[in-house]
Structures are given as C-alpha cells and as structure tokens.
C-alpha cells in the first residue's frame, strides 16, 4: 500500500467533505502517522472511513474513532499552544498525539492497562514528550492538576458529566459525543462563568460508550 497516497485520499475524500478546512488541522493529519497508532493486525485499515477495534487484553469495545470524527473534534476544540488538555480514553494514543502538537501539555486517561501501555509506547516511538498517559478511570475522579483549558471525551456518553464541566477554566471547552444510538450529537460546551456554560451541537455521529459514565439520570420530554 502507498501510505502517502492513502493518507492524501483520507484527507481529501473523507475529512475535507466533513467541513474540516482548518489548514493547521489538515497539515497535522499529514504529519502525524496514523498507521503507527493502529494495531498491527488492522494496519491496512488505518485510512479507512471506519472505527478500528483495539483488541486484546480486555479492551471492551474500545476503538479508534473514524478519521473524520477525530479531525472534526480537533477542529472544533481549536486548541491553542499555551493550553492544557485532558483527554478521557487514550486508546492507542493517536488523538493525544494530535492534541499534543497543538497544546502545551496533554494528560490522557485510559482505564485499560494494555491500552495505556500501548498509548505510552506509541507516543514514545512518535517522539511526543508533552503527553502523560495515566491508567485511570476518567468517569470517577477529578484530576488534581486541573482545571484544564480543553477536555475531550474520545467516546460517547449519555449526557455531559458535570464534574468534568467543573474542571474547565473560564473560556475552556469540552467536547463529547452525547446521546444514544442510532442518533448522537457532537457536543461542545464552553465555560462562560463560574456556574455557566454554553453548548452547541454542530453535527451528528455515533461512537461506542466510554466505560463507567452514568446513563441518563432523568427523563426528557
């Protein structure tokens, strides 16, 4: 397989049509080698418009999100060079690698031991040194080194977790895929005050659940 041609096709045929037009994001997708973060058994699928399973060692339905979803989340968050980022769900480390090129520092949490080890190894091989991979349950504990300028949930949840919204700086952004199959919405929350957040839901997608986050706590009419 011609990797560079496949990467070019991914960007031009999947990502640009999904309204990802930020030149910095597009350049980053050319630079960070996605294939190096894909499990060897699925490397041929690195540039395909699909979720890639992260198998083995109890990876319970965890995946790399489709390239267009990763790219759109990255564009929507608009990470700046001085910002500190928290990611929930390290997976293979690819999204953390993308975030690391935009941010000052990234903390990424991974509940599965094998995936945490995979993410650390992949990031080290890629020469990325401003990411800390923590083996932790991101659904349970606020991080002591918060608040964060950006928080990304690399998977879906039933609703935005308040304890994570509380960890945002003023002006900080949180992105998550929210809802239930077959219809979920990419949701971007921005902290506008001490107890105030604005939200937008600019596009639809679906993604596997992050482990241990609460399901709906109330009925919606």
Neighbours of 134 (CB within 10 A): 14
Q: Which two tokens stand for residue 122?
A: 């992949």
What domains can be seen in the chain, in order of their start residue? 3-205 (3.40.50.150)
Per-residue confidence (pLDDT) for residue 59, from 0 to 100 = 43
Question: What does 13-43 look like in DSSP terms, one character per residue?
Answer: IIIGGGT---HHHHHHHHHS-GGGGS-GGGG
List phi, psi (to 5°) of 219: -85, 145
Residue-by-residue pLDDT tens, the chain, 221 positions: 799 999 999 999 999 999 999 999 999 999 999 999 999 999 999 999 999 999 654 445 689 999 999 999 999 999 999 999 999 999 999 999 999 999 999 999 999 999 999 999 999 999 999 999 999 999 987 888 999 999 999 999 999 999 999 999 999 999 999 999 999 999 999 999 999 999 999 999 999 999 999 887 654 43
215 three-state secondary structure: coil
- CA nearest neighbour of 128 among 104, 100, 91: 100
Per-residue confidence (pLDDT) for residue 168, from 0 to 100 = 98
Detail the DSSP E strand segments found in the chain: 52-53, 63-64, 84-88, 105-110, 131-135, 148-157, 168-180, 183-193, 196-205
Per-residue confidence (pLDDT) for residue 220, from 0 to 100 = 47
- CA nearest neighbour of 90 among 120, 67, 68: 120
DSSP bridge partners of 107: 86, 132
Per-residue confidence (pLDDT) for residue 36, from 0 to 100 = 97
- Rounded to the nearest 10°, the torsion over CA 20, 127, 110, 44 is 60
Give the global pTM.
Answer: 0.94
Q: How far apart, in Å, are the Cα atoms of 172 and each of 78, 148, 207, 213?
A: 11, 7, 23, 21
């Amino acid at each position: 397989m011609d990797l560079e041609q496949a990467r070019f096709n991914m960007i031009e045929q999947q990502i640009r049509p999904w309204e990802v037009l930020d030149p910095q994001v597009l350049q980053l997708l050319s630079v960070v080698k996605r294939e190096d973060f894909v499990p060897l058994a699925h490397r041929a699928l690195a540039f395909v418009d699909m979720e890639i399973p992260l198998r083995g060692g109890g990876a319970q339905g965890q995946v790399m999100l489709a390239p267009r979803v990763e790219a759109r989340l990255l564009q929507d968050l608009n990470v700046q060079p001085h910002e500190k980022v928290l990611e929930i769900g390290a997976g293979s480390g690819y999204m953390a690698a993308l975030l690391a090129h935009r941010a000052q520092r990234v903390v990424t949490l991974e509940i599965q031991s094998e995936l945490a080890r995979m993410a650390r190894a992949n990031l080290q091989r890629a020469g990325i040194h401003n990411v800390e991979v923590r083996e932790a349950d991101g659904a349970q504990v606020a991080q002591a080194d918060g608040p964060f300028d950006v928080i990304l949930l690399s998977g879906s949840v039933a609703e935005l977790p308040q304890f994570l919204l509380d960890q945002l700086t003023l002006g900080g952004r949180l992105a998550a895929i929210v809802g239930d199959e077959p219809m979920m919405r990419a949701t971007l929350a921005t902290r506008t005050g001490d107890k105030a957040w604005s939200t937008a839901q600019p596009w639809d997608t679906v993604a596997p659940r992050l482990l241990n986050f609460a399901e709906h706590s109330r009925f919606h009419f």
